[in-house]
Structures are given as C-alpha cells and as structure tokens.
Amino acid sequence: PVGETLKPVQEQINRIRWDKSLDVTDYAIVYEDRFDGLMERDVDVLTGESTDESFIPQSRIKSIKRKSTGQVVWHRNERLDLLSL
C-alpha cells in the first residue's frame, strides 16, 4: 500500500529470491548509477558482496519492478509496496 511504513529493499529482495510463489527471474531493480543515471539490473544476478565490482548499495536502489508486466511493485520515494500485500 502507498504511504504506510515501507519495508526495507533488502527484505523485499530476499522475499523475491526465496518465496516459491514469486519467480526471481521476473523482477528487476532500478538503481541510480553515479555516472549513467537510472539503470536496471535483474534481481537474480544481484550480489550482496561489497567487494564485487557489480555491487549496488541499497541506498541507490529506487524501485523494484516486475519485468513481465512493467509494473512497479516497490518504490522508495512514492512509498509504494505491493509485495507486502
């Protein structure tokens, strides 16, 4: 729901990865790249290892979307969380 307490992005990513009712390959994060602006990366290839070159800090993640529909299911600034319904 919009406007309620927003669950942290890492909690949502973990749910997408481990909830059998969700297809991890159908979700992507939208993040702010320091040089290229808004970029997308599939959730199934994210790494939590901060020494990895492809590591994305949680603070840079702006939203999560479902790739098959294009629907945004979690958005930091709009405080939207459709994954927790």
| Domain count of the fold of the chain | 1
Q: Does 1 map to a domain?
A: no
Q: Does 4 map to a domain?
A: no
What is residue 34's three-state secondary structure? coil
What is residue 77's three-state secondary structure? coil
pLDDT at 53: 72
Q: Does 58 map to a domain?
A: yes
Query: Smallest Cα–Cα separation from 57: which of 5, 7, 9, 6?
Result: 9
Domain that holds residue 74: 9-81
pLDDT at 5: 84
Judge whether residue 1 has pLDDT over 60: no
Q: Does 3 map to a domain?
A: no
pLDDT at 2: 62
Q: What is the pLDDT of residues 3-25, one digit of tens each?
A: 568 999 999 999 999 999 999 99
Using 50, 70 and 90 to split pLDDT, how confident is the model at 29? very high
Q: What is the pLDDT of residues 37-73, one digit of tens each?
A: 999 999 998 877 766 777 899 999 999 999 999 999 9
